[in-house]
Structures are given as C-alpha cells and as structure tokens.
Amino acid sequence: MTPLQALQKYYGYTQFRHQQEAIIKQVMSGGDALVLMPTGGGKSLCYQLPAVLLPGLTLVISPLIALMKDQVDALNLTGIPAAYLNSTQSSGEQTNIISRVKNGEIKLLYLAPERLFSSESRLVSFLKQLPVSLIAIDEAHCISHWGHDFRPEYLMLAHFKTEFPLIPVIALTATADELTRQDIRDKLALHQPAEFVSSFNRPNISYTVSPKKNAYQQLLHFLNERRDESGIIYCLSRAATEDLATDLRAQGYAASAYHAGLDIDTKARNQEQFLRDEIKIMVATIAFGMGINKSNVRYVVHYDLPKNIEGYYQETGRAGRDGLPSEALLFFSAGDAFKLKNFARVEGNEEQSAIMLKKLDDMVKYCQLQTCRRQYLMHYFNEPFGDHCGSCDVCLTEYKTIDGTVLAQKALSAVARLDQRFGANYVIDLLRGSKSEKIWADHKQLKTYGIGADVSKADWQRYIAQLVTQGYLRTTDDQYPILKLTDQSEDVLKGRQKVEFSIAEEVELATELQTPVYEAGLLQDLKTIRLNLAMKENVPAYLILSDATLLEIATYLPQTPNELSKISGFGEVKLVRYGDAFLQATLAYCHQYGLTSKIGTKQSKPATRTKSPRASSGNTQRESLELYKGGLSLDEIAQQRQLSITTIQNHLCGFIETGELDVYELVTAKKIPAIQDAIEKYGTERLAPLKEVLGDAYTYAEIKAVISWSKKDQA
Ligand code: ADP
Ligand code: ZN
C-alpha cells in the first residue's frame, strides 16, 4: 500500500496537506525528522500513517495524559489499533495493554515521558524487546526552556537515541522560532534530521481586533450570533475566567471556566464536557488548550491582551482545525498594555525583561495596525505574505472619503464659541445638544448648541481626531486636553478651505471564504445522527466525523455508498460502520425535497491535469525552455519570440510538470508553502482567487509554477 492509498483507506482524505507526504517518506526510509506545522496543520498523520505502513510498533510521546484517550479513540475509530499506558489506568488495564502490545496487536502506543526513563521504570527494557520501528515526539517544544511550555520531564527523552540508536525519531511542534528548534535537535540528539517547515498561515481563520470599550456587551453581541457554536474565551486572570463564565451562564450559555488553580477532577471534567459539546464555551486562562484536538472550535476570543504574538497565534490556532471558516477576536485597550508592561519586567534580569517588553510591544503594534493583520503575523514568523488577505478586519474595512467641510465648520465654530477652553467630549456634547447638567446653561443658548445632533458621538470623535491630524485643531498637553484653533482654522471657517474625512465602510467577506451552499436542514439531521452514534460509542462527536465532513454531505448530497466514499473524511472503516446511517438520512431528505446528488460538482481531486507539452508538439515550448536555460529572462524571451509573457510562463511551467525544469528556477523556496496552502484551499481551477489571497508579493508566474509542480508529484 502506498501512503496515498493508506490516506484514503484509513482517513478518507484524497490529498496530502503541506509536506505530509515528504515527511512520511523521510521517516519511512529510516531518517529523523523535525516537523514544524501550525496547529491544525495535520501533524498527527505524519507519524500515524507510517505507523500503519511500517511493520512493528510506533511509540508516541505526548505530554498530556488527559488527552491521550482522545487521540487513541480517534485512531481506533478509523480502524487503526492504538492504545496508551498512563498512571490513571488500573494495573489490570495496564497488564491487558502490555499483553496486546506483546502480541503485536497494537500499531501505536502512547506514553507520557515521565514513565519512560524514571529510575525504577522497567518500561524501557520491555520496549527494547519489541519490534519498535518509529518514535514520535509530539509537542516537542516542551523540551526547550525557550518554548512557552517547558516540561522538565521532556529532557529525559534524550535517552531515546542511546537506548534505541537505530530507530528513526520524528519530532513535531507548532512553535517555530530558531532557538527552540535548535534545542529540539540538540536535546533529542536527532541524527541529521530533515526539517520540514510549513506555511504558518491559517487561511480559514479571520482576525479581528476591537477596541475594548463595553467589551462585555460586545462579547454578548458576538456570542448571540454564534449560539450553537463552540468557542474558547481567553482571560488573563483565574478570577476573571470564573466571573465571566458565571455571567455567561446567567445569560443562558453553556459556559465553564478552566485554569491551573482548579483541582484535577474539575479540570478533567470541564475539559471532557467541552470536547463533548456539553459545554459550548470554555472561559480559560492560557493553561487551557495544548493538545486539545477538538476540530470544531469556531472562534477564539482574547478578552484581555495576550503577552506576545507567539502565544496569541498558538491560541487563535485552536480555532478551525476542520478547515471551516473560523474567527479570532481580540479586545484591545491601552490600559491592558500598561498593566502587562509591569508584569513583563523580570526582577534582576534586565536581558529577559527587555525581550519580554519587546514581545509585548510587537503585540501592541499588531493591535494598532492600519494594514493587513495576517501579513503582520506572517512577517513576524519570517514568512513572505502579500499586503491584502481579504479576511482580517483591516482588509474588510474600506475607507471612503467624504466632503467634511460643513461638519468641520460646525466643530471649529463650537470650539471658538467656547473660547477654546474645553475638551473634545464637551465640544461634542454641545454639538449634539446634550441635555446634561454638565453643559453650562449659557452654553445651551449658543448658536452652535445642537447643530450636530444628527451625527453620532462616535462619529464626532473620529471627525475631531481627523481635524487634529489634519492640523485644523490642536490639543493641549494637559491631563484633560483642551481643543484649540490653529492658524489654518480660519480658512475653513471662512469657507476658503475644503476639508475631507475618511470613513470606514465594512465590505463583504471575500466570497471564497464563504461556505458553499448546503442544505441546513439536512446538516441538522446529520448532526443529530452523529451525536447519537457518539453517545453509543462513548466518544466526542467530532471524532465520529468532523463538521467539515457533515457539511460536505449536506452540500453534495451523496446517494450511494460509492458517492459517499467521495466525501472527504470517510475512510473504509467509517464507511462500513456509519455510512448507512448518514446515507439513509440524506436519501430521505432528498426524497422529501426532490433533490438529487451534486457529487459531480465536487472538485475532483487531484485536480484535473492540464495537457503537458508532448515531444511532438513541443517545439515551441522547448524553444522557450532552451532560451531560458541559455540565461534569458522571461521578459527577454517574450520579446525575442514576439509572444506574451503569459505564453512563455505557460511554456516553462509545462516543463516543471515533466520534471525537466526545477520549480526553484521560477519560485524561491520560501514562497512555496504559502502557495501550496492557497492551492489546497482554493483548488487550481482558477488563478484569480489564488492571486487574490496571496497578494502582490506573489506573481502569476510563481503561482502557476507551483501548480505545475504539484501536478508533477501527482503524475
Ligand atoms: P495538528 O496536530 O497539526 O494540530 P491534526 O493532526 O490534529 O493537526 O490535524 C488537524 C485536522 O486536519 C484533523 O481533523 C485531521 O484529520 C485533518 N487532516 C490532517 N491531514 C489531512 C489531509 N491530508 N486532508 C484532510 N484533512 C486532514
Ligand atoms: Zn488582511
């Protein structure tokens, strides 16, 4: 069986993601590997598939005992025999597992690091008698002091290479910085590991930062539109998580708190209920989340400012593992930044303090961006990215210019009438005709009183801020800044100078990010069936099938087992076990509403091959190739041959597909992962959407080249 066949058989997926295939090849050929992939990128498959394909046993080291069960359940549901050994099991259970391992009935054995190499442990000598063929170390950054989750017990994993010198080790993490990487390589004593760094972009997550004003009301508004969805809300303090969870419960939400101060049982119970969708909202400190594989987390809210971009990105990454559109919302206030600044100072360690403050500063900059947030994040992780992602709040806000001359005259004359002795709030209240006692009685007699009542307070604040930046007003440096006129004010008041304001307009989310048209009623039915199956099997619902899989069924309406097998996520075992239940429901629904299968419209992957240049007709293409190899640029070839650049690009890309031209000739290696990601997400049918998500940093030629390259691999 090839890795691709195994992918289809066990997982029901038709294509590898990121560099999964290359990683699998590396470990199957006996080499060590270091894998960096964002959360939700698909790391598990990189050792699970080799485990199935290789003879013997794969050991998996994972830091969180509480989550081993989840992973093992997931594997067993796909028909891959797996088990774990940990301290929560009775000795009877342990003996049973050990004998199944001895009999070769288990392909993957999950272990906690502390059990392995402690002095009294006999586990290693037991494992050494077994045909171990691969060792996988998940969350490998836990071995490093530089990572954000250092776990001393991970240091013991250094013994693997001495105890099992010939067994390949694959280390996996979602933390990217070079120091941590170096630590992983050194401490695990990896032998010339191949390194696989994927793009860290998560195209299905959209990023929004909101000013933290009435945050609770804003949050309620946000949640109200997502009543049935699952999400995580991060707070800075333990007390805040409990307070907020209590408030949300009072509003009728199934919310619970999670932080390191809770006792083990409560933590385990809350976590379990969250996985099983009995709790929809987890209000947590950053203690929550590592190793949580729940694939249908639809949003992550940061109620308080995170301390650094690394943590923020890791936390937001817990949304949307199933690839469906998901949201990251952060509430930002300058006050939060100020508070964190005090925390960031480490007593007696100037160097560390400086690093922490710099990281905090980068976090604050992110919140104050006027440019694409995703671009900032990608650049932070040293990855090229265009300047328009189309799915962050900045990209989704368009600014249009309006003639603000009359508004400006109203504001400036109010400032003048008040003898330039009041601040912005007072001026705005006056303009809006506030009845408040705070407004002096004689000011209520002024001609400017109430002349701006048709404009909201928030809009006036924006206009006045723009008048200040444009120099028609200035503010004093006092504790309560006062608005003053400037030399330029008079021109505006006398009508000699026009003023323009720019105002924000929300634009529609890029259509590519919207989910396809699906039958909402059917989706509900499918979810009910899934829940019943999950209860019967005693596992969380998303382990039976992901939301993305159900959504595909509700979109393409498969009518036969064969059609159902084309739905992503239905491996052989799941098809046999659960296929019928979902098929019956789909048939009944289609019958009721007179619908038929749309499976034919599902983009068949791998993408249809475009014709590659054949030798006989290939003379014109080959001529371009020769010129290129002769050192001419695309421009020069186009000129010389009197053909368009696009034609020349097409010629050359054909040779990438046939293997005669290296993709790196046309694209730098760094740019490839992002293009691959976009291809995976949007397919290769049309170039325009790819170009749009990737932005100006990527040319059509580069995109085409990577498409041709991916076709080469599939050929
Ligand atoms: P990570 O460990 O990197 O955070 P996971 O291994 O949990 O990510 O994978 C995230 C999700 O993506 C899982 O639901 C997994 O089944 C799915 N997935 C992984 N590889 C593929 C693939 N090649 N095609 C489709 N889905 C995939
Ligand atoms: Zn953007």
Q: Tell me the DSSP string of 50-83.
A: HHHHSSSEEEEE-S-HHHHHHHHHHHHHTT--EE
Q: Is 16 in the pocket of ligand 1 (CB under 6 A)?
A: yes
Q: Whose C-alpha lies nearest to ligand 1, atom 10? A: 40
Q: What is the crossing angle of helices 405-417 and 457-469, to 10°?
A: 90
Asked if 346 and 238 sit in the same domain, the reply is yes
Q: Whose C-alpha lies nearest to ligand 1, atom 26? A: 13
Asked if 425 and 288 sit in the same domain, the reply is no
- pLDDT value, residue 675: 87
Q: Is 44 in the pocket of ligand 1 (CB under 6 A)?
A: yes
Asked if 375 and 411 sit in the same domain, the reply is no
Asked if 193 and 71 sit in the same domain, the reply is yes
Closest CA to 281 of 233, 342, 222: 233
Ligand number nearest to the C-alpha of 509: 2
Q: Is 71 in the pocket of ligand 1 (CB under 6 A)?
A: no
- Residue 228: domain span: 205-389
Q: Is 40 in the pocket of ligand 1 (CB under 6 A)?
A: yes
Number of other CB atoms surrounding residue 338 within 10 Å: 11
Asked if 16 and 151 sit in the same domain, the reply is yes
Ligand number nearest to the C-alpha of 20: 1
Ligand number nearest to the C-alpha of 39: 1
Give residue for tokens 């060792």.
135
Number of domains making up the chain: 5
Q: Is 549 in the pocket of ligand 1 (CB under 6 A)?
A: no
Closest CA to 11 of 49, 62, 59: 49
Ligand number nearest to the C-alpha of 371: 2
Asked if 14 and 106 sit in the same domain, the reply is yes
Evaluate whether residue 675 is within a structural domain.
yes
Asked if 591 and 684 sit in the same domain, the reply is no
Evaluate whether residue 394 is within a structural domain.
no
Asked if 48 and 143 sit in the same domain, the reply is yes
Asked if 288 and 376 sit in the same domain, the reply is yes
Q: Is 293 in the pocket of ligand 1 (CB under 6 A)?
A: yes
Number of other CB atoms surrounding residue 66 within 10 Å: 15
Q: Whose C-alpha lies nearest to ligand 1, atom 9? A: 42
The values of phi and psi at residue 301, to 5°, are -110, 135
Evaluate whether residue 117 is within a structural domain.
yes
CA of 377 to the centre of ligand 2 (A): 10
Of 326, 361, 389, which residue is a domain's last? 389
Q: Whose C-alpha lies nearest to ligand 1, atom 2? A: 43
Evaluate whether residue 698 is within a structural domain.
yes
Evaluate whether residue 424 is within a structural domain.
yes
Asked whether the CA dihedral 569, 571, 577, 583 is positive or negative, the reply is positive
Ligand number nearest to the C-alpha of 173: 1
- pLDDT value, residue 696: 78
- pLDDT value, residue 246: 97
The reported pTM is 0.69
Indicate the burial class of 153 (C-beta count within 10 angstroms; 0-12, 13-18, 19 or more).
middle
Atom of ligand 1 at shortest range from CA of 295: 14
Q: Is 654 in the pocket of ligand 1 (CB under 6 A)?
A: no
Q: Max CA-CA distance within the chain?
A: 95
Neighbours of ion ligand 2 (CB under 5 A): 372, 374, 389, 392, 395
What the block records as the tokens of 73 is 């359940």
Of 614, 631, 657, which residue is a domain's last? 614
What the block records as the tokens of 406 is 């009359």
Contact 24, 3 (CB under 8 A): yes
Name residue 169's beta-bridge partners: 135
Q: Is 613 in the pocket of ligand 1 (CB under 6 A)?
A: no
CA of 389 to the centre of ligand 2 (A): 4
Query: What residue ranges of the chain have pLDDT lower than 50?
Result: 508-515, 605-618, 715
- d(Cα 528, Cα 397) in Å, to the nearest integer? 38
* Mutate-to-test residue for ligand 1 from 72, 75, 172, 293, highest number of ligand atoms within 8 A of CB: 293
Evaluate whether residue 283 is within a structural domain.
yes
Q: Is 231 in the pocket of ligand 1 (CB under 6 A)?
A: no
Q: Is 3 in the pocket of ligand 1 (CB under 6 A)?
A: no
